[in-house]
């Protein structure tokens, strides 16, 4: 839950900072989210319209795709949502517009923020761009030290030499 009480918002511009947990945003099934999530909110209230710019910063925990070592990485993303009770602006297709009834007292920002953070997770997770990964034979982490396994990749020039020697 990341609740904003509409009555607490003044007309015009206002700001708020919040710190929420993965639990608050219902992100518990995503093991990447373990650190607190810093949220900054910029609100612009104009009658029955509230534009909210949400910015979130956190540190996510990953397992490297190549060397399977855990590592952390900063993650930050932002989104803008227009909350309005103007029926003319009601548009179910547009996620950036959220219709609220005129009697609505609270807005829960957890749902849109959760979606945004999940989409911000990278598909490829590397502890560093040039991670050498694990040796396919002995499983050694090649970032720490080279292992003594023979390499399978044979240089084509050596292939020719092999033929020549036979
Ligand atoms: Zn790695
Ligand atoms: Zn090896």
Ligand closest in space to the Cα of 131: 1
CA of 146 to the centre of ligand 2 (A): 7
- DSSP letter string over the chain? --EEEGGGPPSEEEEEEEEE-TTTTT-TT-TTB-S-EEEEEEEEEETTEEEEEEEEEEEEEEE-TTT--EEEEEEEEEEEEEEE--GGG--TT-TTEEE--TT--EEE-HHHHHHHHHHHS-SS--SSTT---B-TTT--BTTT----PPPS---HHHHHHHHHH-
- What distance in Å separates the CA atoms of residue 37 and residue 20, rounded to the nearest whole number? 5
CA of 152 to the centre of ligand 2 (A): 11
Contact (CB, 8 A) for 134 and 145: no
Ligand closest in space to the Cα of 66: 1
Between residues 92 and 101, which one has the greater pLDDT?
Answer: 101
CA of 150 to the centre of ligand 2 (A): 8
CA of 142 to the centre of ligand 2 (A): 8
CA of 69 to the centre of ligand 2 (A): 17
pLDDT at residue number 162:
61
pLDDT at residue number 48:
87
For 110-146, what is each residue's pLDDT tens digit?
999 999 999 999 999 999 999 999 999 999 999 998 9
pLDDT of 56 strictly over 80: yes
Ligand closest in space to the Cα of 148: 2
The pLDDT confidence band at residue 86, using thresholds 50, 70 and 90, is confident
Q: Is the pTM of this model over 0.85?
A: no
Ligand closest in space to the Cα of 63: 1
* 42-46, 121-125, 126-130, 154-158, range with the lowest pLDDT: 154-158
CA of 159 to the centre of ligand 2 (A): 22
Between residues 59 and 97, which one has the greater pLDDT?
Answer: 59
Between residues 66 and 153, which one has the greater pLDDT?
Answer: 66
């Amino acid at each position: 839950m990341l609740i904003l009480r509409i009555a607490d918002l003044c007309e015009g511009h206002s700001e708020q900072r919040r710190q929420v947990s993965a639990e608050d945003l219902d992100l518990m099934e995503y093991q990447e989210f373990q650190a607190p999530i810093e949220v900054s909110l910029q609100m612009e209230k104009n009658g029955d319209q509230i534009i909210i710019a949400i910015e979130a910063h956190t540190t996510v925990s990953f397992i490297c795709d190549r060397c399977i070592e855990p590592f952390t990485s900063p993650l930050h993303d932002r989104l803008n949502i227009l909350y309005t009770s103007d029926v003319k602006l009601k548009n179910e297709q547009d996620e950036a517009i959220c219709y609220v009834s005129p009697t609505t007292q609270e807005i829960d920002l957890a749902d849109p923020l959760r979606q945004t953070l999940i989409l911000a997770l990278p598909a490829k997770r590397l502890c560093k761009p040039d991670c050498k990964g694990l040796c396919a034979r002995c499983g050694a982490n090649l970032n720490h030290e080279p292992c003594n396994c023979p390499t399978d990749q044979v240089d084509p020039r050596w292939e020719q030499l092999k033929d020549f020697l036979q």
